[in-house]
Structure 1
């Protein structure tokens, strides 16, 4: 028995790439930056490492919601599974990529962070939600599930202040 389940919390490095394939199916490609920060005990300096995770969404209604609500810099909580693809480049060499895939009923994506009230916004308030203002912690995020009912168990919000001892310490519902 085995489990292929991936849970990520990170920031989108670019706007989602939405494509319609020849067969009419919609697909979204995301690049999620998952950052790890820690304080070096010997120097006292903050260190960080960023892993860029490719995310592919095959569930059409999730693709449509991502296209409507998700933009570069947004904090996302993603649940999916690892999948490795193989292809050949122009010279005939085998190439591989491992991606986090959301398809069927087992994928979930949730918009997290300050400024999210009910998950909707227009591009006009983008600067307002990134700049000053109060802490919107507890205002909730926008959760998009792969299809099964039930509430979200992912993080509800995430603070932009990553300078404390525990980075990415989101609140849970």
Structure 2
């Protein structure tokens, strides 16, 4: 069995870039999606964790609070025991190396402000330049 999560939404806060004890970098941020039902807009918030090193670079350089993005990943639930002994859990959208996509649609700026605003960012792994037609 296989599941995918695909969404278009806006970052609810600036991404946090951290490193694990093993030296792997990761990015995390909240993503707001919305839908209109019966004339009312309803927002959903999703916690997104990015483990793909190339995607972490894109997020670090171009994503900010309010940036419109499209992403594809997997929904995973982590469980752990807290210091108080209680079992905790967190459901996240995970973008890993092999099964994920991430694209900035608008509102992005380089950290040093050299890039033009609203330029789409494509992950080269998904480029179609090699197609024969």
Report the TM range for the smaller structure's normalisation: 0.7 to 0.9
Higher alpha-carbon Rg: 1
- 1:87-166 aligned at under 5 Å gives the runs 87-113=80-106, 121=110, 141-144=120-123, 148-151=125-128
Which structure carries more strand by proportion?
A: 2
> Is the counterpart of residue 19 in structure 1 residue 18 in structure 2?
yes
Are residues 121 and 68 of structure 1, via their aligned partners in 2, closer, same or farther at CA, if it must alter by over 3 Å?
A: closer
In structure 1, the partner of 2:131 is none
TM-score (norm. length: structure 1): 0.65
Aligned length: 126
Aligned to 1:31: 30
- Mapped partners of 2:81, 2:111: distance in 1: 41
- Output the aligned Cα RMSD: 2.3
* Misfit runs of 4+, over 2 Å: 120-125, 148-151
Counterpart of 1:8 in structure 2 is: 7
Q: What's the CA shift for 1:144? A: 2.7
**Structure 1: 5+ residue runs without aligned partners?**
41-45, 130-135, 152-173
